[in-house]
Amino acid sequence: MSELLEGNEFVSSLLREGDMRYPNDHPFMELFYLGKLSKKQLREWAINRYYFHRHIPDKDAAVASNCPPDVRGLWIGKLVEEAGEGGKPSHPDLWLRFCDDLGLSRNGVVNAEVLPSVKMAVDGYVNLGRHKSWRIGAGASLTEFMVPRKMDRMITAFKTHYPFVTDEGMTFFKEHKEADEEHGKLIIQILTDYCKTQAEQAEAREGYFFKLDLHRVILDAVHYELLRNNGG
């Protein structure tokens, strides 16, 4: 077990570790940023990625049900924003709007059979929120602190290389650039205030690394399919 760190130092150390572990340099993302993916390849990625996004509200609801009331009061705003409120579309709905620009039907995406490793990884993520310590579930969401920087690169790539993705279709990415900045700050606050022992910090780290690896599993699976099918 790692040594006990003060709250700010603990979160800073996690973010440093995560920066090295987050799959920013994954071969699939490099192809994406260089504009070397076909629309068919983007469709494969979008269908599998949707399975992840549609289950984030489920995982967040599970964390909310397991955490103490004072944390739940902080967490519920994130859950409501993810799931949609007051006529505002949910994040999964915004992803479906992006899929429209790829020529995918919404029913087709919702009912698609995703790659087995993606399904296993995402289902494991939801079960982590349901059946493990709430600190593990909360720690998993620390990855959202990294999202705004990633969204900037993705929006630039869409505008430069994939003109069939409209401004409206990019709403998911624009919204996450802003929303996840606030979510990231929220998670940092929670982990700083509620992870005071070695065991509690270990739980947060476990969840964080699970989520980092989940992102890599999704990219590995989709990239393998592209190679297996000779580039699609």
| SS3 readout for 54-95 | HHHHHHHHHHHHHCCHHHHHHHHHHHHHHHCCCCCCCHHHHH
> What domains are there in the chain, each with its CATH number?
7-228 (1.20.910.10)
Residues 6+ apart with CB under 8 A from 111: none
Residue 84: which region, alpha, beta or left (left: phi > 0; alpha: psi -120 to 50)?
A: left
Burial of 219 (0-12, 13-18, 19+ CB in 10 A): buried
Cα separation values, 152 from 68, 100, 229, Å = 35, 21, 30
Instruction: Look at residue 202 in the predicted model and tell me its pLDDT.
Output: 95
Residues 6+ apart with CB under 8 A from 183: 78, 81, 141, 144, 145
Residue 157: which region, alpha, beta or left (left: phi > 0; alpha: psi -120 to 50)?
A: alpha
Whole-model pTM: value is: 0.91
Burial 127-139 (b: 16+ CB within 10 A, else e): ebbeebbbbbbbb
Instruction: Look at residue 2 in the predicted model and tell me its pLDDT.
Output: 62
Low-confidence ranges of the chain (pLDDT < 70): 1-3, 5, 7, 84, 86, 180, 230-232
